[in-house]
Amino acid sequence: MNFLRKPWLLAAAASMAGFSALLSFPSHALTAEQAFAMAAAEDAEQRAAAINQAVLAPDAQSDGGKLAAYLTALANDEVKTAAGKAYVVSGDAATDPTTGEAAKLPADAEEVVNNNYMRSVIDTAQAALALGSSDVQARRSAAEKLAAEPDAERLPVIEKALAAEKDEQVIALLSRAKAASLLGSDDAKQRLQAVEQLAQQKTPDTQLLLNQRLSEESDPAVQKAIKAALSSIGESLAWGDRLGAIFSGISLGSVLLLAALGLAITYGLMGVINMAHGELIMIGAYATYVVQMLFQRFVPEAAFGWYLVVAIPIAFMASALVGAVLERGVIRFLYGRPLETLLATFGISLVLQQTVRTIFGAQNVGVENPAWMSGGITLLPNLTLPYNRIAIIVFAFAVLAGVAFMIAKTRLGLFVRGVTQNRSMASCVGVNTARTDTYAFALGSGIAGLAGCALSQIGNVGPDLGQNYIVDSFLVVVLGGVGQLAGTVYAALGLGVLSKLLEGWTGAVLAKIAVLLFIVIFIQKRPQGIFALKGRSAEA
């Protein structure tokens, strides 16, 4: 065993000799000798041994004990020593750590300086003490720390905590910490037993730990067991990686779907190349930010989580209003001239970006997730589905259902379809085509605002937010088939999943290039997209 490469083993060896006598220390008592040894022993290994001995006292794990307070003072460099005694110094006041009473600090007191090794020892010792906490989150954090930094000397503390623990997550972490500590044993049988236990915990941390041990292991039987365990863990984690890539692809696809739905109406049904669509997404995001700020200022904190519910219709209305003004002021004069709409809306996008910079500043602003969107569902050790991503997927399909219902079942949807297919005939039967155009463009713009509201929950909001999605939105609409909602859904989800799967093999940049080449080749072979228009509208 190479002790020079593992300082904690030196500390463990140094402390084992006096361990039996130290078991008689009362938990709440911190003797002057202990306090001084923990702070000013001759070398780091002896100090570490003294800290380990104090932590291993039978009842040392008590919330708020003197030992915990003293360790905190050591970690914060608030301890000085003089004449064989230790003092906790805060400002100009000194305290005796053994009694908690005020003390006079000698003039020749020397400050205790901790190196990185000692800080690691103190940090792990604090984690060991926290195993006795009544707070389950504190115990989980402590168990994670002990599992990440195994120490054979703390096996008695871990076993004691395991015997009393009820929380399954803490039990799993402590079991891993125990097995990881035994993995450094001199006894090959104990190492083999530890490998078998760790093989049952198929986590990335366990995989890393076994890989590190494999490079140091000399026993052939243990080496074989480690390799078998790594193979089993690797197969299990591979499924987590695959499912994670698929979920990430669906998540990205839902974002693209939200961004492209509005464009499917303004471009697919109306033939307007709206380069300001990204800025309409940005307006929806900033509307969400404004609602958040109003809730933080004027609404009780307990109701803050409802801000997103209020922000959804406001983001829709804000973008829809800007879209209606844009259609009535510019677009209505350019129908039938798509290249001119491209140039005009590109100029409008620059105006909108600068307006937002003037009002909100050029820096990104942060939008907080409500409490109910924080956290996630852990399905596998290396697969956690964030609540905010799940919410966006559900929201995207809810918006899709609403748009499909409106287009297929409402009077406005009938007018939009009629004007799109035959404007002259629709006008002849009494449809106000100009008003229908405004409503349709406002609807597409409002859906872009909903996309901005959703995007605010997964990233920062800034003036350039929409520029990240405008090209992808056009690609989705063209690939799916102009004017086809079903095609938009297939294209968005397909591109999202394909991008994420390729990223795992080639990286983000090459994946983007590959997706673009795929779309170019696909459009060359099938210019009408996945779903082609049928009937009279296709012949027009």
Q: How confident is the model over 74-84, as pLDDT tens digits?
A: 888 888 888 88
* Residue 538: CA count within 13 A, CB half-sphere: 10
Arithmetic mean of pLDDT, 253-274 = 83
- At 90, is the secondary structure helix, strand, or coil? strand
Of the chain, the end-to-end C-alpha distance in Å amounts to 82
Give the mean pLDDT of the chain. Answer: 81
Q: What pLDDT is stored for residue 25 in this prediction?
A: 34
**Dist. CA 183–CA 213, nearest whole Å:** 8
Contact assessment for residue 53 and residue 15, using Cβ atoms and an 8 Å cutoff: yes
| Residue linked to tokens 């509201």 | 453
> How many other CB atoms are there within 10 angstroms of residue 43's CB atom?
10
> How many other CB atoms are there within 10 angstroms of residue 84's CB atom?
10
* Residue 196: CA count within 13 A, CB half-sphere: 7
The token pair at 115 is 């190196």
Is pTM, for the whole model, over 0.85? Answer: no
Q: Nearest Cα to 465, choosing from 280, 323, 307, 322?
A: 280
Look at residue 34 and tell me whether its pLDDT is greater than 80: no
Angle, alpha carbons 4-10-14 (nearest 5°): 155
CATH code of the region 244-492: 1.10.3470
Q: What pLDDT is stored for residue 357 in this prediction?
A: 93
Question: 29 vs 58, 97, 504, CA distance in Å?
Answer: 11, 10, 55
Look at residue 502 and tell me whether its pLDDT is greater than 50: yes
Residues contacting 208, CB < 8 A, separation 6+? none
pLDDT in tens, 266-324: 886 677 888 899 999 999 999 999 999 999 998 888 888 899 999 999 999 999 999 99
Please tell me which residue, 439 or 69, carries the higher pLDDT value: 439
DSSP secondary structure code for residue 374 in this structure? S
Contact assessment for residue 51 and residue 125, using Cβ atoms and an 8 Å cutoff: yes
pLDDT in tens, 317-345: 999 999 999 999 998 888 878 888 889 99
Look at residue 535 and tell me whether its pLDDT is greater than 50: no
Please tell me which residue, 303 or 34, carries the higher pLDDT value: 303
Look at residue 21 and tell me whether its pLDDT is greater than 60: no
**Dist. CA 335–CA 328, nearest whole Å:** 12
Indicate the range of 6-20, 289-303, 467-481 predicted with least confidence. Answer: 6-20
**Dist. CA 40–CA 111, nearest whole Å:** 9
The token pair at 120 is 């690691």
Look at residue 182 and tell me whether its pLDDT is greater than 90: no
**Domain extents in the chain:** 32-228, 244-492
- At 335, is the secondary structure helix, strand, or coil? coil
The token pair at 14 is 């140094």
pLDDT in tens, 199-236: 887 888 788 888 888 888 788 888 888 888 888 888 88
> How many other CB atoms are there within 10 angstroms of residue 262's CB atom?
31
In this prediction, what percent of the chain has a pLDDT beyond 90?
16
pLDDT in tens, 163-180: 778 888 888 888 878 887
| Residue linked to tokens 């006795």 | 132
